[in-house]
Amino acid sequence: MGTLLIQGAQIVTMNDKQNVFTGDLLIKDDRIVGIGEDLSSEGADRVIDARGKVLLPGFIQTHVHLCQTLFRGRADDLELLDWLQQRIWPLEAAHDEESIYYSAMLGIGELISSGTTTLLDMETVHHTDSAFHAIAETGIRAVSGKVMMDHGIEVPAPLQEKTERSLEESVRLLEKWNGYDSGRIQYAFCPRFVVSCTEELLIGVRDLSEQYQVRVHTHASENRGEIEVVERERGMRNIVYLDHIGLAKPNLILAHCIWLDEQEKTIIRERGVKMTHCPGSNLKLASGIAEVPDMLSRHVPVGLGADGAPCNNNLDMFQEMRLAALIQKPIHGPTAMDARTVLRMATMGGAEVLGMEEEIGSLEVGKKADLVLLDLYDFHTFPSHEVDVYSRIVYSATRGNVDTVIIDGKIVMENRVVRTLDRNIVLREADRSIARLVKRV
């Protein structure tokens, strides 16, 4: 792979000291090997002149559904359970191997082009190998897994699994893909949510995740109707139930967590459970606003994610950062969720949620070379004189400012062009795929 020197950038490290300075960063193979002022270019295989640009860690999205990218615009203006039952589940049931592949490629193209270098993904019941192939080919870093569903009303027959079969298929995928490409791809067990999983399945996930030492990624307390179903069927609230069956552990990542009571917040904190916040999705589905400032004050790791394209409708971390900051201010005051806090959630916060804080999330010697170069020389990001760089990134910048993206030391996007996929083929095949699926629903 060789060495790559990035010269003259404003470097936003997101390290513990939150150092920001103008200087250089040296990459060798897949690692950062030097950061400082006036690093020598001698021996570098390539030099990027980044003067006037901002260099920061790649964004880490901690809740995405690549399998749903094809459904963008087809499930608008519905609340969660109707959204699932009337639109999303029937469409997921119609998927084939090719449509999953192009749905993932479409989503990954959007993610990379808006600065995301790592994602936590949840697929659908079938054809998950196709999504992993897309992840492998495009070079993005990902933790992913097939969704698991063996219970629930109004679930289409093709998505209704036998418990043992769901567990067996998950293990097959794990043994095939976990650790792929020196760990760039990792596996997570993905029971959809308590509403669609039997206790037998969830206990199986608990045991297998411990056996294989991998994460568990699920939804919890996103919607009040969902909580009512869980209380009616299991006799207790979501997080209390997950704790009751032994799933509330440091390897558990919960998406949304909007409607938590004090007991549930305490369980999350004491058990080391991680959270992922999806403000765009939570607003569009009318689910509510998660109490993120409170959870951060309790030192709960919280990341950011766009969720799926049909409930957002963009997979853009710039939008999620801006929303995460703005929606809390009318409730908690203008200083709540300041730009620095939000940018940390999008980088180091996401790394902590994934248990990868020693590898990604900040620009430090020894860490993986996952980074983004922003060109902020534009009308909407000026004036720049003595303006806080965190403010410029969170409140002013957009996906259009992403110039270059590097993942695992490889340039996957340069001059705003994604290099690891063919844009025209992906767009054409995405349209062909959704046309085919709609006929099956």
CB 240 within 8 A of CB 267: yes
DSSP result, 115-178: TEEEEEE---SS-HHHHHHHHHHHT-EEEE--EE----TT--GGG---HHHHHHHHHHHHHHHT
**CA end-to-end span of the chain, whole Å?**
46
Residue ranges for the known binding site for Zn(2+) are: 63, 65, 219, 307
Interhelix angle 163-177/199-212, nearest 10 degrees: 20
Other CB atoms within 10 Å distance of the CB of residue 4: 20
Residue ranges for the known binding site for substrate are: 92, 222, 307
The owner of tokens 């390290």 is 15
Which tokens sit at 3?
């060495």
Handedness of CA 81, 82, 86, 87 (dihedral sign): negative
How far apart CA 107 and CA 99 sit, in angstroms, is 12
Tell me the three state secondary structure of residue 9.
strand
- 361 CB burial (10 A radius; 0-12, 13-18, 19+): buried
Residue 245 corresponds to which amino acid? I
For residue 65, the 8-state DSSP code is -
Of 117, 179, 166, nearest to 418 by C-alpha is 117
Residues 6+ away with beta carbon under 8 Å from 261: 237
How far apart CA 299 and CA 315 sit, in angstroms, is 26
Residue ranges for the known binding site are: 63, 65, 92, 219, 222, 307
